Amino acid sequence: MNGRISADRFYAAVATPMRDDESVDLETLATLIDRYIAKGVEGVYCNGSSGEGLLLSIEERMATVETAVQASGGRVPVIAHIACMSTKDSIGLGQHASQVGAEAVSMIPPLYYGYAEEEVLGFYLDVMDEIELPMFIYNIPQFSKTQISDRTFNELLRDERVAGVKFTDHDMFALQELRVAHPEKVLINGFDETYVPARAAGATGAIGTTIGLQTELFLAARRRFDSGDVAGAQAVQQRINVIIRGLVDNDVFPAAKYLSGRDVGSLGDCRRPLRQLSSETKAALDKLGQTLDRFLQEIAQEEAGAP
């Protein structure tokens, strides 16, 4: 397995910048990724929920992955989410991701039709048969409305082409069972609000909506957890969760996209039918940004040993 994707890394699930006409702004995307890497982000995840991947065309998804790879310049690995409504389109995205230099791909289960267990399994196997990159199963039952069965999980995780799971679920018992059953696989936490609990349950690394926004906090939480200071890691997680609560209360994906644009001017609005933020909501998010700035300053002082 690629050593870079098997490492304990923080991947920013990048938002896709858009102009007023909803066209994708690749130049701003490249700038955003460069800023994230400078802050300490250790990987980039494209076209997931945060990136509005299912609202983008096939061509736009290819362009965002290619831009991400070019912007990262080999400094960090890029994982491309490639799931589409059809297996054929997913294969095309996977083949393209390999050609442009992504280091792994990821897929949610197939959507809408209420697929049988065999069809979910077949979706992953059929795509992996036609691509060369390692696969991360993207488990997100809250949005996909599909709870991948233990049987399907176990069969896929026994496949050497599956690198692991992007585990975006609050079920820590299920995560721990996966770790026990498949100790060789990479289990990546997908809900930012559960990073520290997920580490305790066996996750390594994280892919998240707010990792690019709160990079320094996540790095501090990891340092403390790894040093055995669980209480200190929990204290950082509490700060992380204050920001997440503020985003969730204001519609998490448009809100996170708005705050994530602070360092690059703006990432634009989300693509409709996701809602556009009101001026009142943006004002509330500006205050949340001030709270985040205070947390970042506090963490910097604590990490430096300042009183």
Catalytic residue numbers, as ranges: 138, 166
- Reference 73, options 108, 39, 111, 38; nearest CA is 38
Q: Indicate the SS3 state at residue 75.
A: coil
Contacts of 22-28 with C-beta under 8 Å, sequence gap 24+, read 22/269, 22/271, 22/272, 24/56, 24/60, 24/63, 24/64, 25/267, 25/268, 26/63, 26/64, 26/67, 28/264, 28/265, 28/266, 28/267
Q: Please tell me what DSSP assigns to residue 104.
A: E
The enclosing H or E element of 144 equals helix 141-144
**Six-digit token string for 101:** 């230099």
285 vs 299: CA distance, rounded Å: 21
The enclosing H or E element of 135 equals strand 135-139
- Reference 36, options 219, 195, 198; nearest CA is 219
Strand 162-167 with 135-139, pairing: parallel
**Six-digit token string for 180:** 């026990």
